[in-house]
Amino acid sequence: MKNKSKAVFLVLFIIWLLQPVFVSAQGTQADYERASNLQKKTQFLALNVVDRAGWIENTSRFWYRKTVKGGYEFIVVDAQTLVKRPAFDHQKLASSLSAASGDNYSPLNLPFIVLNFASNEQAIEFEVGQDRWRCDLADYSCKKIGPVFRRPPGSPFAPRPVPPQTPRVSPDGRWEAFIKNFNVWLRSRENQKEFALSYDGSEGNYYALYTLRWAPDSKKLVAYRLKPGYKRIIQYVESSPTDQLQPKYHQLEYNKPGDVLDLQQPVLFNLETKKQVNIDNTLFPNPFSLSPLVWWQDSRGFTFEYNQRGHQVYRIIEVEATAGTPRAIISEEPDTFFSYRYNKYRYDVDDGNEIIWLSERDGWGHLYLYDGKSGEVKNQITRGNWVVRGVDKVDEKARQIWFRASGLYPGQDPYLIHYCRINFDGTGLTPLTKSDGNHSVIFSTDMKYYFDTWSRIDLPPVSELRLTENQELLQEVERANIQSLLEAGWRAPEVFVAKGRDGKTDIWGVIFRPTNFRPSRKYPVIEYIYAGPHDSFVPKSFSAYYPMQSLAELGFIVVQIDGMGTNNRSKKFHDVCWKNLGDAGFPDRILWHRAVAAKYRYYDLSRVGIYGGSAGGQNSTGALLFHPEFYKVAVSFAGCHDNRMDKIWWNEQWMGWPVGPEYAASSNVDNAYRLQGKLLLVVGELDTNVDPASTMQVVNALIKANKDFDLLIMPGLDHGAGRRENAEYGDRKRNDFFVRHLLGVEPPDWNNTAVVK
């Protein structure tokens, strides 16, 4: 009997050791159904979550929209009296709008998310579809007041609009400037006499009317003379148009890295002397772009911003208006790149006598105050191991700057956004938000009050009204209630931090587990990747639903990570991407995964998948090419697989110019022969963001290398193919691919109508 007990104990012990293997099936029809219904199930379970807000102009009142059981409600708060009330009678508005529009709206699901108060708050205006509406709050009569003022989407293949060719009238009204025979001409508005100001314009080097700018004193004007570069054209076949049987053919003008660009040269004209002044281009010899020309208000000169090809020199150029002498007021010349689209800010104080400028010259993104006359730095305004994320207001009179920052508080997630105020001279740094969360603030018109909604991905939102002067809490306006969400099985994603490749830098990510998670199981891991260097991408604010959660429901742990080379940290952190987009932060990502696996036994590093679109499409395929020892399965949507094939501005920004061997080193085409693991490529045949040929060249290289892979071409779809466009089908194909190759389970038979949802 004793030996029998020992045997039973041994069997039970072995079963316990092997219990991750002996589990119920994953990737079942029930899992698919739970995943597809998750968003609908959780939609209104988190209550009192503020998602939109706005101040009523020039008042102490603001409105906001929050979640309530079954929908949304609009509320108005008076910051002076702290009285909260419904913004309007939701039932009356729904009834009136339904009658006026012919559609059926319920009080808690009105067809707009943003509103404006009008007529001293006696009416509200909002947009529904393509129409603007106005509802009188006295009798709740609603009527259309016109179309929505937004540019129609149009076709991406439509010819580029021709800039207006109407003459440019001088500020004093005496003259009209226009283009004739590719040159600049003037016409007197008094007697219609006209004469030429330039004679060097030609068809291949012409003056562009849309660039012409008058000096405020009407005595001078300036324009760009433009020498056209190479016009690259991408050809498209629309295989399955909706309005005819036969295919359609399209083309798109699209510059790529290395292409010869338009060359602009500023030229100054003096009306009194009728002389042309050519500007010496020593300070701007090789432009990627020159910004629009802007005159100082006192007409002493004009400025433009010079972005040198390769993005390693960026200057504010001022040209003196008499002799046409140029000088660089500010010159950024980093060893790697100047992030001109995403890490730049300029504000001219007192007509350029001072300039507020954002620079990463000390290793972090900070504000500097320049003397506009001398071009010298008067002082650094902000400083520290944190970054300025944006400027909300410059108060010239008070000499204060209101801005957003991240990394301000040691110990907090360095990506969380906080709001601050500081004096021009760098004194008086005043954080307006301190709570450990990601903040979104709107200020009253007079900046006296601010409404702050903050949360974290693992902390429900709180909305507070505060007094700006001393940050006094006037009212906790809303605090989210997620009890019903928790009762439905929701659990917050986990924020996880591990050291990067240098052993010092924190790498931040999040972990999503299925709602039926069992620690006794072994779970395959799927990483959602987008390593574009222009931003950071791991979510930081609370949401009751993330698409990654639906994927997790099929039996996976799904994660997202911001590795080195992405933005919003130090310049050194960002510089990892320089001429090295193939890196994609993988050394940091893999270490992060290993740190999670060291903590959690159920995190299965033998089955790791990865997916992403656009830059993430390049990254996810690159995972199998460059790190096959770690990543086993990838799904790549609309990937820019070779940076020589993609749009010029994005790729030269990070990969540099001229095109060098680093482009080939990062190329999924040139490295396709390395493929190991399972790969699904998805592309829309009408992708106007990334040339579809980028994916097809990977296909060609894989075929030549005799590699197995899967390919899904989506007819008629653009860059969002399988993600935003026809996302249900694209998500299902992605999910099936991971279920088949990571879980080892055959997905449901979708061609059997009995199981098609």
Domains of the chain, residue spans: 13-42+493-743, 50-147
The answer to whether 693 and 685 are in contact (CB under 8 A) is no
| pLDDT-based confidence at residue 17 (cuts at 50, 70, 90) | very low
In this structure, are strands 183-188 and 194-196 parallel, antiparallel, or unpaired? antiparallel
At 109, phi and psi to the nearest 5? -140, 55
4 band by pLDDT with thresholds 50, 70 and 90: low
| 98-116 core/surface letters (b: 16 or more CB in 10 A; e: else) | beebeeebebbebebeebe
Residue 164 pLDDT > 90, yes or no?
A: no
Residue 271 has pLDDT above 60, yes or no: yes
Q: For residue 24, is pLDDT > 70?
A: no
Angstrom distance (rounded) from CA 2 to CA 10 = 12
On the question of pLDDT at 145 being above 80, the answer is: yes
Q: Cβ(219)–Cβ(213) under 8 Å?
A: no
Cα Rg of the chain, angstroms? 30
644 pLDDT more than 80:
yes
What are the tokens at 596? 């999670």
495 pLDDT more than 60 = yes
Query: How does the average pLDDT of the chain come out, rounded?
Result: 95
Q: Is the pLDDT reported for residue 379 higher than 60?
A: yes
**CA separation, residue 178 to residues 170, 191, 193, 214 (Å):** 11, 16, 13, 12
pLDDT at 392 over 50: yes
Give the global pTM: 0.94
What's the pLDDT band for 415 if we cut at 50, 70, 90?
Answer: very high
User: Which residues, 6 or more positions from 561, have their beta carbon under 8 angstroms from its beta carbon?
Assistant: 507, 508, 509, 527, 529, 538, 585, 588, 589, 592
pLDDT at 155: 82
Three-state secondary structure readout of 621-675:
HHHHHHCCCCCCEEEEECCCCCCCCCCHHHHHHHHCCCCCHHHHHCCCCCCHHHC
Q: What is the mean pLDDT of residues 322-340?
A: 97
Residue 12 confidence (pLDDT) above 70: no
Residue recorded with tokens 């040269």: 265
Confidence bin at 5 (pLDDT 50/70/90): low
744 dihedral zone (left: phi>0; alpha: psi -120 to 50; beta): left
Q: Residue 149: pLDDT band by 50, 70, 90 thresholds?
A: confident
pLDDT of residue 21: 42
pLDDT of residue 755: 53
Residues 284-314 pLDDT 10s: 999 999 999 999 999 999 999 999 999 999 9
Q: Could you tell me the two tokens for 680?
A: 């699904």
Predicted pLDDT at 281: 98
Q: Tell which CATH classification among 3.30.300.30, 3.40.50.1820, 3.30.1540.10, 1.10.600.10 matches the domain 13-42+493-743.
A: 3.40.50.1820
Q: Is the peptide bond before 247 cis (omega within 30 degrees of 0)?
A: no
| CB of 323 closer than 8 Å to CB of 340 | no
pLDDT digits (tens, 9 = 90+) for 205-263: 999 999 999 999 999 999 999 999 999 999 999 999 999 999 999 999 999 999 999 99
d(CA 321, CA 328): 15
CA separation for the pair 401, 386 (Å, rounded): 17
